[in-house]
Amino acid sequence: MSTLQKKPVIIGAGPAGLTAAFELCKAGIRSIVLEKDNIVGGISRTVQYRGYHFDIGGHRFFTKVKPVEDMWREVLQADFLHCQRLSRIYYGKKFFYYPLKAGNALRNLGILNAVLILLSYLKAQAWPSKPETNFEQWVSNRFGYRLYSIFFKSYTEKVWGMPCTEISAEWPAQRIKGLSLLEAVKAALLQKQTNKDGDIIKTLIDAFDYPRKGPGMMWERVANIVKESGSEVRLNAETLNILWDGTQVIGVRIKTDKGEEVVEGTDFVSSMPIRELIQRFDPPAPAEVVKAAESLKYRDFLTVALVVNKPDLFPDNWIYIHDPDVKLGRIQNFKNWSPEMVPDPAKSCLGLEYFCFEGDGLWTMSDQDLIALGKKELETLGLANAVDIEDGAVVRMPKAYPVYDPGYDLAVEVVRNFIQSLSNIQLVGRNGMHKYNNQDHSMLTAMLAAKNILGHNYDLWSVNVDQEYQEEIKGEKKGLDDLALVATTQPRVPRRVERAPKP
Ligand SMILES: Cc1cc2nc3c(=O)[nH]c(=O)nc-3n(C[C@H](O)[C@H](O)[C@H](O)COP(=O)(O)OP(=O)(O)OC[C@H]3O[C@@H](n4cnc5c(N)ncnc54)[C@H](O)[C@@H]3O)c2cc1C
């Protein structure tokens, strides 16, 4: 069959699915994109509420992948803003710069606290906690318990939903390796950060790119471009079943407003969560594959967007909330990302971010109660007065984070082997591959999947999401071939401490 006769079916209209369709369009191939929601963009969507635009967590556009950068620029053109970044840590009603600045940190902590931090550090040096198996021990041994409890404990526990004593020490050891209190103080004094090779780490403190009306603007444009080229982007079209004959996928059964229908194709690209994909094979996938897929877990996320009747609340794009007495983990100030996110210059729109599990107390609270909680917490923090908050909206995002718990990698391997035994289906993207990645890596896997449909033979699983590209900008931006071949692993997400099974 010539490539032009191909009829690819793509599951999901997030960054991965739409990028695959975009790449195929460029090669003259029309595809069908099936999206279960009534909006494109997936986790990178922009929600609109009474003219206010907000993200599911602020979405910075940053990449080392040149083809990704080129696609963003090609699509967004003049609508791609270059924004100055300010994001600080909020603790005890004080703003701390991140990375820390010595003067600011000392002023905020006060002399007494600074002395106690030093004593706690000296204690940790003299009597380190051994054996060092969990996050709390690892960080306290290097920074002292007091500093750990201010800058690490509360935020980490909010994000990951588990006590730091249950997070394996392997994670901080790889994420913050080489950093000691002395080096942190030196960096805070010099305002420079270097890595272990002495290279200056340019963190994303200074600037980032962002579409004028939020990330959804990018994905709505891509959806329009592919539709204009003859492809279909079908919203409210949930994939219910993957129909296969033992060697390949034949079609997918979807649920639409009008009922169920089967969409046939020659090639299939899936960005839907692995767990659901495998559960939906018809006839069922082998039992061990279903078992592996069902063991995969996710962390969920919700945003409470509040409209505040004040033009300026704080200058940050976002603030990390380290106070343990509120549930919220981070606050976005969307106006500071782009003024066009807010329709009335006299008002602000804040996105209060809560990390949760589907079905837990936060997740199941009514929207009204969540808005009330958000108002109360903003007031507790002293960042806004409840009387100034005139409206609010809630967006729940299930499966925002794929969880890397013990055994997840083996489970993904089982699924991957099964998928690779079929000749015409590829997995792409974040939940599509159970990889904790950003838009750019989701897009890269999709670009390679599209190239494979055109006859190439890229290994999508070797795309490296764990490279510390996100924190460190060094060297040239890479092209497809360089990146498809890189494969190292450094967990960017924590794992639980592995305990010996009870006898
Ligand atoms: C809080 C937060 C902040 C983030 N910040 C950034 C950032 O600053 N910069 C950045 O680049 N990235 C960021 N990310 C990551 C980014 O959101 C993801 O990497 C990206 O959206 C992944 O794209 P995707 O297409 O792989 O998956 P998704 O965005 O999850 O899209 C998958 C799509 O598939 C659809 N789908 C699922 N099941 C079905 C089904 N059965 N049938 C049909 N459709 C289905 C979904 O509805 C969804 O639209 C952030 C993520 C979070 C949670």
Ligand 1 center–CA 243 separation, angstroms = 24
95 and 168 part of one domain: yes
Six-digit token pair at 237? 């079209």
Beta strands in 121-248 (DSSP E): 207-211, 232-234, 238-244
3 state SS for 85-127 = CCEEEEECCEEEECCCCHHHHHHHHCHHHHHHHHHHHHHHHHC
Contact, 256 vs 234, CB < 8 A?
Answer: yes
Q: Indicate if the alpha-carbon torsion angle 448, 461, 401, 465 is positive or negative.
A: negative
Give me the number of domains the chain comprises: 3
- Ligand 1 within 6 A of 214 CB? no
Contact, 192 vs 200, CB < 8 A?
Answer: yes
pLDDT at residue 7 is higher than 90? yes
- Ligand 1 within 6 A of 11 CB? yes
- Ligand 1 within 6 A of 437 CB? yes
Give the pLDDT confidence score for residue 33 in this predicted structure. 98
The proportion of the chain whose per-residue pLDDT surpasses 70, expressed as a percent, equals 86
The closest-lying atom of ligand 1 relative to the alpha carbon of residue 19 is: 25
pLDDT at residue 487 is higher than 60? no
184 and 99 part of one domain: yes
261 and 310 part of one domain: no
In a domain, 65, yes or no: no
Report the relative pairing of strands 87-91 and 259-264 from DSSP bridges. unpaired
- Ligand 1 within 6 A of 17 CB? yes
91 and 185 part of one domain: yes
For residue 14, the domain's CATH number is 3.50.50.60
246 and 385 part of one domain: no
- Ligand 1 within 6 A of 272 CB? yes
283 and 419 part of one domain: yes
- 94-98, 348-352, 456-460, range with the lowest pLDDT: 94-98
pLDDT at residue 140 is higher than 50? yes
Give the pLDDT confidence score for residue 103 in this predicted structure. 82
pLDDT tens digits, 152-208: 899 889 988 889 998 888 778 766 655 666 666 666 666 555 545 444 444 444 788
Instruction: Give the closest residue (by CA) to ligand 1 atom 14.
Output: 438
In a domain, 450, yes or no: yes
In a domain, 479, yes or no: no
* Residue 318 parent element (H or E): strand 318-321
In a domain, 422, yes or no: yes
pLDDT at residue 86 is higher than 60? yes
pLDDT tens digits, 374-430: 999 999 999 999 999 999 999 999 999 998 887 899 999 999 999 999 999 999 999
In a domain, 471, yes or no: no
Q: Which of 448, 463, 478 is the last residue of a domain?
A: 463
280 and 429 part of one domain: yes
93 and 180 part of one domain: yes
Give the pLDDT confidence score for residue 477 in this predicted structure. 58
Residue, of 157 and 475, whose pLDDT is higher: 157
177 and 128 part of one domain: yes
Q: Tell which one of 439, 443, 492 to mutate to probe ligand 1, the residue whose CB is within 8 A of the most ligand atoms.
A: 439
183 and 95 part of one domain: yes
pLDDT tens digits, 414-450: 999 999 999 999 999 999 999 988 999 999 999 999 9
Q: Which of 356, 371, 402 is the last residue of a domain?
A: 402
- Ligand 1 within 6 A of 402 CB? no
Give the pLDDT confidence score for residue 451 in this predicted structure. 96
pLDDT tens digits, 10-63: 999 999 999 999 999 999 999 999 999 999 999 999 999 999 999 998 999 998
In a domain, 198, yes or no: no
Give the pLDDT confidence score for residue 173 in this predicted structure. 77
The closest-lying atom of ligand 1 relative to the alpha carbon of residue 445 is: 26
Full residue range of the structural domain in which residue 157 is found: 87-190
Q: At what angle do helices 66-76 and 439-453 cross, to 10 degrees?
A: 100
In a domain, 452, yes or no: yes
- Ligand 1 within 6 A of 429 CB? yes
- Ligand 1 within 6 A of 442 CB? yes
287 and 303 part of one domain: no
Give the pLDDT confidence score for residue 502 in this predicted structure. 47
- Ligand 1 within 6 A of 268 CB? no
395 and 303 part of one domain: yes
Q: What is the mean pLDDT of residues 100-125?
A: 89
- Ligand 1 within 6 A of 87 CB? no
Cβ neighbors of 118 (< 8 A, separation 6 or more) are: 144
Quick one: pLDDT band at residue 489, thresholds 50, 70, 90? very low
Q: What is the mean pLDDT of residues 313-334?
A: 94
In a domain, 152, yes or no: yes
- Ligand 1 within 6 A of 55 CB? no
The closest-lying atom of ligand 1 relative to the alpha carbon of residue 12 is: 34
Six-digit token pair at 393? 């909206």
The chain-wide mean pLDDT, for the chain, equals 88
Give the pLDDT confidence score for residue 189 in this predicted structure. 62
Q: Tell which one of 59, 270, 330 to mutate to probe ligand 1, the residue whose CB is within 8 A of the most ligand atoms.
A: 59
Provide the 8-state DSSP code for 290.
Answer: H
Q: What is the mean pLDDT of residues 212-220?
A: 98
- Ligand 1 within 6 A of 303 CB? no
